[in-house]
Amino acid sequence: MAITLDFSGKVVVVIGGTSGINRGIAELFATHGAKVAVASRKQEKVDDTVTALRQLGADAMGFVADVRELEVLEAGLQTVHDRFGDFDVVVSGAAGNFPALANDLSGNAFKSVIDIDLRGTFHVMKTVYPLLRKPGASVINISAPQAFIPMKAQAHVCAAKAGVDMITRTLALEWGATGVRVNSVVPGPIDGTEGMARLAPDEKIRSMVARSVPLGRLGTPADVGNACLFLASELGSFVSGTILPVDGGWSQNSCGNMSEYLGNAAARTPGS
Q: Using CB under 6 A, list all residues that contact ligand NAP.
A: 16, 18-22, 40-42, 45, 66-68, 93-96, 116, 120, 142, 144, 187, 189-190, 193-196
- Determine which residue in the list 43, 51, 264, 272 makes contact with ligand COA, applying CB under 6 A: 272
Q: How far is Cα 200 from Cα 207, in angstroms, rounded to an integer?
A: 9
**Which of 13, 100, 131, 210 touches ligand COA (CB under 6 A)?**
100
- When asked if residue 228 is in the footprint of ligand COA (CB under 6 A), the reply is no
User: CA 79, CA 190: separation in Å to the nearest integer?
Assistant: 32
Q: Is 160 in the site for ligand COA (CB under 6 A)?
A: no
C-alpha 264 chain-centroid distance: 27
162 binds ligand COA (CB under 6 A): no
Backbone angles phi, psi at 87, to 5 degrees: -85, 130
Is residue 91 near ligand COA by the rule CB under 6 A? no
Which partner from the list ligand COA, ligand NAP, none does 33 bind, CB cut-off 5 to 8 Å by kind?
A: none
DSSP E strands in 143-220: the ranges are 181-187
Q: 11: burial class by Cβ within 10 Å (0-12, 13-18, 19+)?
A: buried
The CB-of-134 to ligand COA minimum distance in angstroms stands at 31
DSSP letter, residue 262: H
d(CA 190, CA 163): 22
**By the rule CB under 6 A, 271 interacts with ligand COA:** yes
Q: Look at residue 94 and give the partner it binds from ligand NAP, ligand COA, none, a contact being a CB closer than 5 to 8 Å depending on partner kind.
A: ligand NAP
Compute the distance between CA of residue 233 and CA of residue 228 in angstroms, rounded to an integer.
8
Contact pattern from residue 106 through residue 145 relative to ligand COA, giving x for each residue in contact according to CB under 6 A and a dash for the rest: x-xx--xx--------------------------------
| Contacts (Cβ under 8 Å, ≥6 apart) of 106 | none
Q: What is the DSSP letter of 73?
A: H
**Best CA proximity match to 164, nearest among 186, 193, 195:** 186
* Beta-bridge partners for 15: 39, 92
| Residue 43 lies near ligand COA (rule: CB under 6 A) | no
CB of 9 to ligand COA, least distance (A): 32
Among residues 122, 194, 220, 237, the one that binds ligand COA under rule CB under 6 A? 194
For ligand NAP, the closer CB: 6 or 260: 260
H-helix or E-strand containing 90? strand 89-92
The listed partner (ligand NAP, ligand COA, none) that binds 190, CB under 5 to 8 Å by sort, is: ligand NAP
Among ligand NAP, ligand COA, none, partner that 18 touches (CB below 5 to 8 angstroms by kind): ligand NAP
Q: Which does 108 bind (CB under 5 to 8 A by kind): ligand COA, ligand NAP, none?
A: ligand COA
CA 261 to chain centre: 24
Q: What is the 8-class DSSP label of residue 177?
A: G
Binding residues for ligand COA (CB under 6 A):
95-98, 100, 104-106, 108-109, 112-113, 194-195, 198, 271-272
